[in-house]
Amino acid sequence: MSSVKVILYTSKVLKNGEHPIMLRVIKDRKPKYISIGHSCSVDLWDEVEGKPKKKHPFEREINILIDTKKTAANKLILENQIDDKDFSSEEIIGKISRNTTKSTVLKYFDEVINHFKASNRIGNAKVYRSTKNSLSRFRNQKDFQFSDININFLNRYEEEFQKRGVTPNSIFVFMRTFKTLVNYAKTDGIVRSDFDPFKEFSFKKYRRIVTKKRALSKEDIMKIKNEPYEMGTNIYNAQQYFMFSYYCRGINFIDMAFLKWENIKQDRLEYMRKKTKKRLTIGLLEPAIEILNYFRESNYDGEDGYIFPILKRSHVTPQAIENRTDKILRIVNADLKLIAAKCEISETLTTYVARHSYATIMKRSGASTSVISESMGHESERITQVYLDSFENVVLDEVNRLIL
C-alpha cells in the first residue's frame, strides 16, 4: 500500500519561525519527504485538510502548488502500478525532485554529464557534452522543454547537420545520443514512459553507411618508417607512435598512452584494451623493441612509469587524463599529416590508419579474418570485417580485370 499526503513539518523550524510544508509519500510503511518550497505557521495551517487556511495571504498559490505535487506523486505511483513495477517511496520522491530541477533539456544534459563525470566515465561525458552543444547551437543558445521534441524538431535538427557538412557517422552519433538522453528522462520520470518523439525517426539510413577505409600499403608504411627526423622532436615521436602501433597489431592510441614498463614481460607486451576489456599478449617484433629502447633511454621513470611521454604521473584524475590524451593526439595527428606530405602519401594520416593498415596488410598476406580479429582484440569478426571491406573490393576489382 502507498499513500501521498502534504503535512506541516513541525519538527523543523525555519529562520522565519515557520515550518516547511512537505510532501510525504509512504510505501510499505516507509515514509519519505520532500519540501514543496514554501513554509507556513501552525496557526495558519489546516492540519485536517493538509493545506493553509483561507486567511493565509498566499492560500491560493500554495494550494495550486500542493495539488501539483500531489498529482505528480500519485501519477508516478499509478504508472508503476499499471506497469506492474515494484517501487519505493524514495524512488517516487527522487523522481519528483528530479522533475523539479531537470525540467528543460539542456539542463538535464548537464545533470547527465555531471553524473558521467562523477562515475569517471569521461568519454561518455564528452559525447553528451558535444551533443548538448550541437542542440544549443541549433536552438540559438536557448533551452527548451522535452515537450518541444517531435518528428518535425528532429528532422530540422538533422537537416542543420547536413547543411553544415557534418559526416553521416557523426550525425548518427549525435542523434543516437539524443535519443538515449530521452530514454534516461523516461527512467527518471521527467517525461511519461510512453513519450517517444523518435518513434517516426528512422536510423536505417545511417546503418547502411560504408565508412571510407584508411589503410596504407606496406610500401607506404616503409616510407613513413624510413623518413629521417631528429630524435626527441614531436614529429619524431609521432612517427614512432605510428610505427609502434603498426608493429603491435594496430594497438590504438589510448591503449598506447596507458602502457607502462611493467606491461613488457620477456619481449612480450601484455595489456588490457580500454574499449573491450580484453587482455592481449603480443610477441614484440625487433623494430618495436628498438622503439621501446629509445623511449627507455629518454623517458624511463621506473617500472610503474608510462612508456611513452603521452601521460605523466601527475595526470591522476580521469578529466586530467582525458584532457592530456586529447591534446597529445591532436599534436600527433597534425605531425602525421606533415609526415604524409613529406612521403607523398595522399591518404589523410592519423594514428588510426596504423590499425587499419595492420588489418589490411595481414589480410593481403593471407591471414584469415578470424586470426586478424583475435590479434586485434575485436569482440567479433563482424567488427574486423568493417576494417577489411575495402580490401575485399580491391581483390574483386583485380580479379575482374582478368576478363580483359
User: Which CATH architecture describes the domain 105-207?
Assistant: Orthogonal Bundle (1.10)
Quote the CA–CA distance of 261 and 254 in Å, as a whole number.
16
Most confident region among 152-156, 163-167, 376-380 by mean pLDDT: 152-156
pLDDT of residue 98: 59
Give 218-402's CATH code, choosing from 3.30.420.40, 1.10.443.10, 3.30.70.20, 3.40.50.2000. Answer: 1.10.443.10
The ranges assigned to domains in the chain are 2-100, 105-207, 218-402
Q: With contact defined as beta carbons under 8 Å apart, do 44 and 52 qualify?
A: yes
The residue type at 129:
R
Q: Which residue did the predictor score with more confidence, 193 or 251?
A: 251
DSSP letter for 403, please.
G
* 267: pLDDT strictly greater than 80: yes
Alpha helices in 147-285 (DSSP H): 151-163, 168-187, 204-207, 218-226, 234-247, 253-258
* 395: pLDDT strictly greater than 70: no
* 179: pLDDT strictly greater than 80: yes
Average pLDDT score over the chain:
86
Q: With contact defined as beta carbons under 8 Å apart, do 229 and 214 qualify?
A: no
User: CA angle at residue 105 from 100 to 109, to 5 degrees?
Assistant: 95
CB atoms within 10 A of CB 387: 26
pLDDT of residue 378: 67
Nearest to 384 by CA among 365, 361, 359, 354: 359
pLDDT band at 100; cut points 50, 70, 90: low
pTM score = 0.60
Q: With contact defined as beta carbons under 8 Å apart, do 256 and 202 qualify?
A: no
pLDDT band at 162; cut points 50, 70, 90: very high
Quote the CA–CA distance of 211 and 226 in Å, as a whole number.
29
Cβ-based neighbours of 391, under 8 Å, separated by 6 or more: 213, 215, 360, 363, 364
**Range 136-161 average pLDDT:** 94
Quote the CA–CA distance of 228 and 236 in Å, as a whole number.
8
